Structure 1
Amino acid sequence: MGIGIGLVLGVIFMFGYKYTASLSDSQIEEKARALGMIYESERKSILKGDN
């Protein structure tokens, strides 16, 4: 019963939450590179079995 009440309250609170993410492609790439993303063409090694 407590879990049900918690879920209902959580849903009610989420109705008021407004999330707008308007990142440009360059901003997304910048954040991904900060996390370690590299393009396949930038790799220095060739892995066998990699399609």
Structure 2
Amino acid sequence: MSFFIDKRIFLGIGIGLILGVTFMIGYKYTISLSDSQIEQRARDLGMIYENERKSILKGEG
């Protein structure tokens, strides 16, 4: 009985993969950001450069 349930699960996963790939074939993802835009977004999220830190951590130097 559990053998038939396993077949249904694999069939569902297979059909889902086929449909997903079929829909994604025509999708084009083209968003290009310049280096300065990427850096600005990273800084907005809290990125700092190593030389901007005011602390010295053990094991560095």
TM-score > 0.5, shorter chain as reference = yes
Scaled by the length of structure 1, the TM-score of the pair is 0.91
Structure 1 residue aligned with 2:60: 50
Scaled by the length of structure 2, the TM-score of the pair is 0.77
Candidates 24, 32, 37, aligned match of 1:14: 24
Provide the identity percentage.
78
Q: Structure 2: state its 5+ residue gaps.
A: 1-10
Q: Structure 1: state its 5+ residue gaps.
A: none
Structure 1 residue aligned with 2:7: none
| Structure 1 residue ranges, 4+ long, deviating more than 3 angstroms after superposition | none
Query: What RMSD, in angstroms, separates the aligned Cα atoms of the two structures?
Result: 1.1
Larger gyration radius, structure 1 or structure 2: 2
